[in-house]
């Protein structure tokens, strides 16, 4: 099997991508483990992670580095955060999740991974958790609700460094199920531009996720 490093900390294994397991021999969601040289890799499932789906579909902009500080909105039980935790070996991952049930699983994961900081709160109210935060290099948003773009922008304005990047998984059906997804995508991208953000990259997530688009943006100066 040919294995090569695709981004720092992310490996390409034929049609799969993987991260170096921060906790060798420990699985998070039943993923396959693969030995490579002196590392153990965790296969990153694109049907369980929108970021993995974007990578599989050609995402070019990948701002996550070993020492990055990241704010993750909508962390759920921690599937994607666990892979980012693998990458951020010297960084921090602030994970905001609203559901107490999902937070229980996220808390269990955080006990195994010191760089993962769980925050039980509402991402539409960033002032609630401002005292727990610091400026971050990346704001990543995976929240299924009609005002997902607005809360994403609110968190970027509050916490993102001037040279940082924002990444949002736009879920068209969560915004308006009656409209065509492409119309919703254009509408949400227009909101970002009108608010002073520059769209750098767009990646549709099919066939892994229906009616989803990953959008990467930065502050426009």
Q: How many domains does the chain have?
A: 1
221 pLDDT more than 80:
no
> Which CATH number does the domain housing residue 71 bear?
3.40.50.150
43 pLDDT more than 90:
yes
Q: Does residue 101 lie within any of the structural domains?
A: yes
Q: Does residue 134 lie within any of the structural domains?
A: yes
Contacts of 148 (CB under 8 A, 6+ apart): 141, 168, 170, 171, 174, 175, 188
C-alpha dihedral, 100 to 105 to 107 to 108, nearest 10°: 150
pLDDT confidence of 137, banded at 50, 70, 90?
A: very high
Looking up tokens 């229906």 gives 210
Q: Does residue 200 lie within any of the structural domains?
A: yes
Mean of pLDDT over the chain: 96
Nearest to 6 by CA among 206, 14, 163: 14
Helices and strands (H, E) in the chain, number of each type: 6, 12
pLDDT confidence of 104, banded at 50, 70, 90?
A: very high
End-to-end CA distance of the chain: 45
pLDDT in tens, 50-98: 999 999 999 999 999 999 999 999 999 999 999 999 999 999 999 999 9
Q: Does residue 199 lie within any of the structural domains?
A: yes
The stretch 29-33 carries a mean pLDDT of 97
User: Could you tell me the CA-to-CA distances from 197 to 44, 63, 102, 133 in Å, in that order?
Assistant: 30, 17, 31, 22
Question: Does pTM surpass 0.95?
Answer: yes
Say how far apart CA 17 and CA 14 lie, in whole Å. Answer: 8
Phi (first) and psi of residue 150, to 5 degrees:
-65, -45
pLDDT at position 6: 93
- What domain range includes position 95? 45-219
Higher pLDDT, 2 or 145: 145
Q: Does residue 119 lie within any of the structural domains?
A: yes
- DSSP symbols for 77-139: TSHHHHHHHHH-TTSEEEEEE--HHHHHHHHHHHHH-TTEEEEES-TT-GGGSGGG---EEEE
Q: Does residue 7 lie within any of the structural domains?
A: no
Contacts of 24 (CB under 8 A, 6+ apart): 40
The stretch 164-192 carries a mean pLDDT of 96
Q: Does residue 154 lie within any of the structural domains?
A: yes
The stretch 162-187 carries a mean pLDDT of 96
Q: Does residue 31 lie within any of the structural domains?
A: no
């Amino acid at each position: 099997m040919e294995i090569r490093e695709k981004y720092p900390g992310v490996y390409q294994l034929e049609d799969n991508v993987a991260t170096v397991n921060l906790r060798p021999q420990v699985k998070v969601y039943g993923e396959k483990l693969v030995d490579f040289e002196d590392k153990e890799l965790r296969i990153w499932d694109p049907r369980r992670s929108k970021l993995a789906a974007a990578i599989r579909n050609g995402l070019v902009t990948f701002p996550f580095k070993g020492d990055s500080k990241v704010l993750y909105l909508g962390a759920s039980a921690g599937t994607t955060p666990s892979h980012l935790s693998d990458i951020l070996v010297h960084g921090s991952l602030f994970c905001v999740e609203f559901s107490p049930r999902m937070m229980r699983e996220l808390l269990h994961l955080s006990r195994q991974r010191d760089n993962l900081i769980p925050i039980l709160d509402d991402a539409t109210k960033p002032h609630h958790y401002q005292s727990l935060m610091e400026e971050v290099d990346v704001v990543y948003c995976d929240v299924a609700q009609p005002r997902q773009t607005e809360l994403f922008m609110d968190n970027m304005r509050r916490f993102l460094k001037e040279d940082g990047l924002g990444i949002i998984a736009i879920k068209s059906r969560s915004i308006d199920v009656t409209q065509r997804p492409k119309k919703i995508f254009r509408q949400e991208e227009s909101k970002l531009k009108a608010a002073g953000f520059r769209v750098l990259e767009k990646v549709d997530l099919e066939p892994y996720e229906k009616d989803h688009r990953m959008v990467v943006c930065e502050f426009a100066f």
